[in-house]
Structure 1
């Protein structure tokens, strides 16, 4: 995977600031970190859902936080698998079975036919569900994803595709058909401006998505100069975030997946092990600029420098 950027003074400053913040976090009292992590979990979940145009309102999110919301009965198929850990046995095997054998990241073949631009919508299971019920499912899924991350950090650089498909299964549980979970995208898609409906950027042909994901997996696992190991954690998180946003590798939930994967990089490499950072606060302040910068990266033919500084 080609990763191009320049260490500008601004980027170097951001990397140094992140290291200073990480040192402060490492010396903070455990009790205060626990409280801050809970706030971060809820804030990140609400903001990440809304960045993907969820209609989630605070009353619905508060109900989920308070435990007074109940997941629709037909969507409880994953609960047992969650009981013993996401990647262990037998829970990992049951999760793999529940996701149709795709939690191991078996990509769709290059022969997968491209479908019409609106074909992805057929994956969604939202017919007849009240708007806030859908929003509650989205938010509850993000909280569950956050909770599972501590078990996924050790696997991120050893089995990246397994981690990505597991995250996707958590994020989209109950929102897409089971066979869609963790399966690379097979439809033609574009990212639109929700207010005006204009196309912000087009995504790669679905037939190349498995190859793109393979490149990301190889880059994350490589220890040489062509891999991620020698790069600052903030840069690695930014690259993962942008590539997943740009590629939209699954049928739905890609924005939430990209933000969760970036946070997991920060946790796995020790920059934010307590998971108290909430980058979504900055992103939510200018959601249009957030997606426009992805489009600008595409137009720059993959130069990630301005994105990493954004």
Structure 2
């Protein structure tokens, strides 16, 4: 009796160009996922994902898990926001890491459904000439949280330990003074009642190379590439040494560093949000029932017609 020939497992393409095209395709799917996050409301997407297991593509299952977990965690973030607002807590979260490591994507998912009056993002530009003459931490201090605020720094005062050191924008003496000052600065913040959380998004050399290529070839992402980003590729090892020194000298019990593996963007986002939530003793906050009041009607009021020329053309 003849045996049925066994099927060989599908092998990944060994041709580098084919492998690159496959990764480009996967990255495009991730981009589509991001559009889904923005455009579809929770209920519609949840209903769609309930049938994801019927899809022949097994990757859709991991996509469904990602979205379901993301929305679950974002609901918890809303609870955290309510708790911070109700208790008057103050927190600052620093997002650091190599260019293209996924800091912005994580910040976007954290803030996506939150009130910007409670949770705000700080992304400072290069210092002005006046700011260069100030105490180094002075331009960051105005952005620190007040009672009932959560502030996310998309890059922070650690610029001095990273890009300013590597690119020569700060002298060795200035970098050394930063290392002496920053532990005391952060201890002062903690003593004043501010929770300080520091995240470092870590990616491999190969992963950063791939993401930079994607930005070069994608016209929607080219704006993300600056001359400074390109230099970060050239000076990969310099940035590595700077990061190692930074961890050694600024990892303190009051404000420790947390490293997030950023090679898988979706896992990195979920892991970051989950860990951020674990840093607060938040709970449900009771809210008064909201009732929509009746609209007042004024006798004789007539709504004026808007001229047709004022309307945006109805093209879709």
TM-score normalised over the length of structure 1: 0.26
Larger-gyration structure (1/2): 2
The TM-score normalised by the length of structure 2 is: 0.26
